[in-house]
Amino acid sequence: MSFDGKVLFCEHRPNNETKLGKVEKLKQAGTHPQVLVRADAVTKIYRSRMGESVEALAPTTLDIHEGEFLSLIGPSGCGKSTFLRILAGLETLSGGKLEWRDGAPTKGSDVGFVFQEPVLLPWLSILDNVRFPLDVFRTPKNEGNERARAMLALVGLGAFEKALPKELSGGMRQRAAIARALVYRPRIVLMDEPFGALDLLTRDRMNDELLRIKNETGSTIVFVTHSIEEAAYLSDRVAVMSARPGRISALHDLDLGPERSEAIKDDPRFYQWLSTLRKELR
Amino acid sequence: MIRTLLTLAGFILAWWGLVVLFDVPSYLVPSPWVLAEKFWFLTTQAALFSHVPVTLMEIVVGFVIGTFVGVASAVLFTRFPMVEVVLNPLIIFIQTAPKIAIAPLLLLWLGLGATPKIVLVAIVSFFPVLSNMLSALRSIDPNYGALAKILKMNALQRLWRIELPQAMPLLFAGMKVGVTLAVTAAVIGELMGARAGLGYLLSLGQETADVSLVLVAVLLLSLIGYLLYVALGAVEKRLLGWHESRSGALSNVEG
| CB proximity B161 to A under 8 Å | yes
Residue B247 belongs to some domain of the structure: no
Residue B49 belongs to some domain of the structure: yes
pLDDT grade for B4, boundaries at 50, 70 and 90: confident
Residue A201 belongs to some domain of the structure: yes
Spatial separation of the C-alpha atoms in residues A121 and B144, rounded to whole Å: 9
pLDDT at B230: 92
pLDDT grade for B151, boundaries at 50, 70 and 90: very high
Residue A123 belongs to some domain of the structure: yes
Q: What pLDDT digit, counting tens, does each position of B133-146 carry?
A: 999 999 999 999 99
Q: Both A197 and A273 in a single domain?
A: yes
**What pTM did the predictor assign?**
0.81
Q: Domain end: A140, A158, A185, which one?
A: A185
Q: Both A276 and A140 in a single domain?
A: no
Nearest CA to A159 among A207, A201, A125, A199? A125
Q: Over pLDDT 90: what percentage of chain B?
A: 56
CA distance A136 to chain B (A): 7
Q: Both A155 and A256 in a single domain?
A: no
Q: Both A196 and A282 in a single domain?
A: yes
Residue A2 belongs to some domain of the structure: no
CA distances from A145 to A273, B93, B224, B236 (A): 42, 51, 44, 28
B145 CB-contact burial (10 Å; exposed 0-12 / middle 13-18 / buried 19+) = middle
Interface of A with B in 166-205 (CB under 8 A): 166-169, 171-172, 202, 205
Residue B104 belongs to some domain of the structure: yes
pLDDT at B31: 86
pLDDT at A100: 93
Q: What is the mean pLDDT of residues B233-252?
A: 66
Q: What is the mean pLDDT of residues B212-231?
A: 92
Residue A20 belongs to some domain of the structure: yes
Prediction ipTM score = 0.85
Q: Indicate the number of domains in chain A.
A: 2
Residue A197 phi/psi, 5-degree rounding, is -95, 5
* Chain A hits for B251, Cβ within 8 Å: 167-169
Q: Kindly report the CATH number assigned to the domain that includes residue A219.
A: 3.40.50.300
pLDDT tens, residue order, chain A (282 aa)? 444 444 444 444 444 444 556 666 665 555 567 899 999 999 999 887 788 888 889 899 999 999 999 999 998 888 899 999 999 999 999 999 999 998 888 888 999 999 999 999 999 999 999 999 999 999 999 999 999 999 999 988 999 999 999 999 999 999 999 999 999 999 999 999 999 888 888 888 889 989 988 888 889 999 999 899 999 999 999 999 988 888 899 999 988 877 788 888 888 889 999 999 999 988
Residue A1 belongs to some domain of the structure: no
Q: Both A210 and A179 in a single domain?
A: no
Q: Which residue range is the domain that position A59 belongs to? A: 8-105+187-282
Picking from B168, B250, B252, the nearest residue to A163 by CB comes out as: B250
Residue A155 belongs to some domain of the structure: yes
Residue in chain A lying closest to B168 (CA):
A123
Q: Which helix (H) or strand (E) holds A269?
A: helix A268-281
Q: Which residue range is the domain that position B35 belongs to? A: 29-127+172-240
Residue A224 belongs to some domain of the structure: yes
Q: Do B253 and A123 touch (CB under 8 A)?
A: no
Q: Mutation test of the interface with chain B: which of A91, A169, A195, choosing the one with the most B Cβ atoms within 10 A? A: A169
Spatial separation of the C-alpha atoms in residues A84 and A79, rounded to whole Å: 9
